[in-house]
Amino acid sequence: MLKYSVWSSYFVELSPEDMITEFLNAGFCATEFSDEHGFMLLDRGNPEKEGAKLKRYADGLGFSFPQGHLLLRADLCADGAADVLKPWLDLFVSLGIRSGVLHAAGGDSLDPEEWFERRVGTLTQLSEYVKGTDFTICLENLCGSTRPQTAEDLNALIDASGGDANLGICLDTGHLHIKKERQQSQADFIRTAGKRLKALHIADNDTTGDMHLMPYGRGTVDWPEVMTSLRTVGYDRLFNLEIPGERRCPIPILREKLRYCRALCELMLSSAGL
């Protein structure tokens, strides 16, 4: 069975160490490391030292960070964008993260050719920076006409930025399901991404907006389609829930929801043969 998780911002109020404890108590052994917890570690000092320190702590408890979300508000079209993200890459590599999710955003006021070229320029620098590691920068499908929405959009950025060595794709099922943004089915996205699919943001909505709900609740994503397609392309990394829409409750309720999420992930994965 694939390793599964809920992203660490589920416990955004807690320190990285206390966040680990909460997940372990609910039976989880991994999480996607959020950019909020990334800021906490960067504020402590040297990215590589602080990342390695937390990794040692997590390793001792049997916990890991297979996936992380790089700076959420990164502007890949800004001057010096790669330099802004390099400390994040140092931090994530030292944490043992293999899939670093990145929004290929920014430059919304530029014409399409220029924002494409600027994004490619930044991605090329970032890919070169992590060359020789097993770290993959995973470009996420986003919402908005000037942002990459389909797997074809993301493939074009990857092809122009040096190919597959350290670049991949993150599917956000919620973003893809919003009615006004929808250009592609979940199955078509997953099939087109293929072996480049290295990260997941599993979230649901009712097509009206990015609600970030857990599967099989008030949303309408076709989860059998998602799971069958993941099996078909041989997806083998983290099955990660990104569900801030479930956080509007006290921590004791969050804990109970988390136990439900664990059972839900296990059932979804086992039923799909993942």
What pLDDT, in 10s, does the model give residues 110-121? 888 999 999 999
- Reading the block at residue 74, the tokens are 């990164």
Cβ contacts of 201 within 8 Å, gap of 6 or more:
7, 101, 140, 170, 171, 172, 173, 174, 175, 240, 242
Q: What whole-number distance in Å separates Cα of residue 175 and Cα of residue 171?
A: 9
Q: How many domains is the chain partitioned into structurally?
A: 1
**pLDDT (0 to 100) of residue 146:** 73
Per the CB < 8 A criterion, the answer to whether 94 and 48 are in contact is: yes
Q: Specify the pLDDT at position 164.
A: 86
Instruction: Write down the pLDDT at residue 33.
Output: 98
Segments of the chain scoring below 70 in pLDDT = 181
pTM: 0.97
Q: Which domain holds residue 175?
A: 4-272
CATH number, residue 181 = 3.20.20.150
Selection from 208, 206, 203 nearest residue 246 by Cα: 203
The distance from CA 181 to its chain's CA centroid, rounded to whole angstroms, is 19
Instruction: Tell me the C-alpha distance between 5 and 28, whole Å.
Output: 7
pLDDT in tens, 56-97: 999 999 999 999 999 999 999 999 999 999 999 999 999 999
Tokens 């986003």 belong to residue: 142
47 vs 69: CA distance, rounded Å:
15
Q: What is the structure's pLDDT at 138? A: 98
Query: Which amino acid, one-letter code, is at 51?
Result: G
Q: Tokens 């998602």 map to which residue?
A: 226
CA gyration radius for the chain?
Answer: 18
The reported pLDDT for the residue numbered 249 is: 94
